[in-house]
Structures are given as C-alpha cells and as structure tokens.
C-alpha cells in the first residue's frame, strides 16, 4: 500500500495513537539527513526531503530552571495559600488538580504528562516507602492508555516527605474511595492522546502571573530546578538520573536495576525547600 493510501486510511480515525509535531520534526530530520547524504553522494537524483515543513511545529525557546526566589514567589500564589479565594475557573482542569501537579512537579522533577496520566494503581508502597510507578503498563481490565518518552523514563519515584505532609496520600485515598481509576480524571486526552495540554496552559499562565512573563519559564522548568536541587543536596548523579529517568551515559550504568527504593528515598529526603514559606500552604491543605 502506498504511503498516501495509508495516510488517507488513518487520517480521520479517532482513537489512533498520534505523535506530536515536535516528534514528527525529529523523525523527519533523520530522514532528511539521510536523503541529503544520498543526494550529495549522487545515489539519488534529488533530495525529495528538502524544504518539507511540519504543520503545528514551532521551535521552542530555551527553558531554564526557576531560581529559589522565583519558586518562593510561585508558591506564594493564592492557588496554594488561599485556594478558597480563587475565582471560579471555566477550565475543565480543576484547581485541585493544578495544585497537585505543581507540588508533584516541584518534588519529583517529573514531566507534566507523566504526572497527568498517573493511575491510582501506580501509587504503591515497598519496604514502607510510598512511591509513584512511572510506566506505560496498564492492566487489561483498565481502559486507559499511557506513554513514556523513552525506555529510560520508566522508573519509580519515592514520595518526598513534603508531599506526604501536605496530604497527598489522603488525596489518593479519597480518589480511590470515589471509584476513580486515574489520579486526575479531569485531564482529558486530546486527538494526539496528550492529557495535559490544557493543564500546561493553565500552569504556564499561573507561572507568568506569579513570576513574570519569561518564555523560558514553563512547567518543564521544574525538571531543571529539581536537577539543581539534587546537586545542591550533594545527591550522587546516578541517583538523580534514576529519579528523573535519565539514561546513564556510561556502559556500566546500564547494568542492574538501579538503586533500591529505600536508597532513593533516603537521598530524596535531603532535597529541602526551605526557601518556600510552607506555613500558609500547610494551613490551606487542611
């Protein structure tokens, strides 16, 4: 079957896994490079891949981590300190979901889509350590789909003591009692299967309002900040690589299953957020 026929067959189908314009651009770039080489070596009469544009692709500006002062400003927002005073949002993404996404982003460094697709079954405990199982595995009886960026993204993340102190496990239990399947059932997948598109918009608007309109500061900045906080706490590189799903660069790092959950948790406890005023956040969480 020709490519144009395959495209016509699937173009209008719903429920089919799709990839983002950024991923298409990356894959297309590899094909264009190959065709460019073949044309240069005169294996082909023309580079048919040259000049192809990907609809919906925009070059992202460089992201940067939050400074500690910026994180303090961000978590002083009313969403965290006085959620009852927030005007009613018309968004399908609830304030509660947005609040927990921010707190999880701060304390785990996980990608927003990794957090948004968490199933309640993914929140587990081993050796007395509660953790989030970041995986693309879904039990057959659950009608859900999950994706991870790379094989290295599959990992376990112990819950930081701050999340537990703020009542995250209580929130999980309430969601289980409501017969929910997902931690954030209000996050609906778009045509590409992405669950956090609207949540990302709301999150980035809050960041702009609280910290300033710097296009380099987005939810993904938590990932950069978490890496820096791990370094500040003198946590070994292999530990924060494992926590964040970064594949080891050396050959030896690819052997074994990585550090045990208790070891990861002990290191993670060393990451502290003393630059944030937690008192009003603690009061609001009760």
Q: What is the DSSP string of the chain?
A: --HHHHHHHHTT-SS-----HHHHHHHHHHHHHHHHHHHHTTSSSS-TTTT---TT--PPPPP-PPPHHHHHHHTTSHHHH-GGGSPPP-SSS-HHHHHHHHHHHHHH---HHHHHT-BGGGEEEETTEEEEEE-S---TTS------SSGGG-EEEEPPHHHHHTTHHHHHHHHHHTT-SBS-TT----TTS-S-HHHHHHHHHHHHHHH---TT-STTHHHHHHHHHHHHTT--HHHHHHHHTPPPSSSGGGSSS-S-HHHHHHHHTT---TTS--HHHHHHH-
Each residue's pLDDT tens digit, 253-263: 444 467 999 99
Q: Which domains does the chain have, with CATH numbers?
A: 1-59 (no CATH), 68-285 (1.10.443)
| Tokens at 211, concatenated | 């910290």
Q: So what's the pLDDT on residue 227?
A: 97
CA geometry: angle at 25 spanning 112 and 188, to 5°? 35
Q: So what's the pLDDT on residue 251?
A: 40
Query: Mean pLDDT over all residues of the chain?
Result: 88
Residue 8, pLDDT above cutoff 80: no
Instruction: Using a cut of 0.85, tell me whether the model's pTM lies above it.
Output: no
pLDDT band of residue 252 (cuts 50, 70, 90) is: very low
Q: So what's the pLDDT on residue 59?
A: 65
Q: So what's the pLDDT on residue 143?
A: 61
Each residue's pLDDT tens digit, 112-155: 999 999 999 999 999 999 999 998 877 666 666 676 766 668 99
Q: So what's the pLDDT on residue 213?
A: 86
Arithmetic mean of pLDDT, 181-197: 91
Percent of the chain with pLDDT over 70: 86
Residue 250, pLDDT above cutoff 60: no
Q: So what's the pLDDT on residue 16?
A: 64
Each residue's pLDDT tens digit, 15-71: 666 777 878 888 888 888 888 888 878 888 888 888 788 887 666 658 999 999 999
| Tokens at 279, concatenated | 């008192």
Q: DSSP per residue over 198-250, as a string? A: HHHHHHHHHHHHHH---TT-STTHHHHHHHHHHHHTT--HHHHHHHHTPPPSS
Q: Which residue has the higher pLDDT, 187 or 257?
A: 187
């Amino acid at each position: 079957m020709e490519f144009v026929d395959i495209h016509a067959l699937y173009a209008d189908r719903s429920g089919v896994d799709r990839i983002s314009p950024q991923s298409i651009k990356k894959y297309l770039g590899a094909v264009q490079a190959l065709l460019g080489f073949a044309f240069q070596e005169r294996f082909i009469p023309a580079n048919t891949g040259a000049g192809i544009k990907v609809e919906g692709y925009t070059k992202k500006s460089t992201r940067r981590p939050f400074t500690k002062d910026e994180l303090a400003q961000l978590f002083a927002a009313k969403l965290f300190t006085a959620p009852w005073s927030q005007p009613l949002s018309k968004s399908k993404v609830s304030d509660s979901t947005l609040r927990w996404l921010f707190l999880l982003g701060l304390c785990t460094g996980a990608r927003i889509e990794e957090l948004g697709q968490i199933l309640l079954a993914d929140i587990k405990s081993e050796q007395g350590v509660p953790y989030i199982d970041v995986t693309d595995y879904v039990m057959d009886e659950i009608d859900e789909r999950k994706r991870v960026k790379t094989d290295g993204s599959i990992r376990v993340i112990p819950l930081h003591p701050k999340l537990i102190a703020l009542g995250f496990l209580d929130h999980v239990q309430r969601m289980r009692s409501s017969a929910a399947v997902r931690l954030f059932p209000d996050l609906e997948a778009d045509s590409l299967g992405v669950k956090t598109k609207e949540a990302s918009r709301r999150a980035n608007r809050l960041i702009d309002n609280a910290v300033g309109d710097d296009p380099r500061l987005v939810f993904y900045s938590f990932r950069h900040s978490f890496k820096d906080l791990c370094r500040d706490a003198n946590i070994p590189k292999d530990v924060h690589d494992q926590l964040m799903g970064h594949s080891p660069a050396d050959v030896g790092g690819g052997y074994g299953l990585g550090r045990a959950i208790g070891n990861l948790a002990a290191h993670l406890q060393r990451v502290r957020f003393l630059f944030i005023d937690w008192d009003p956040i603690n009061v609001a969480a009760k």
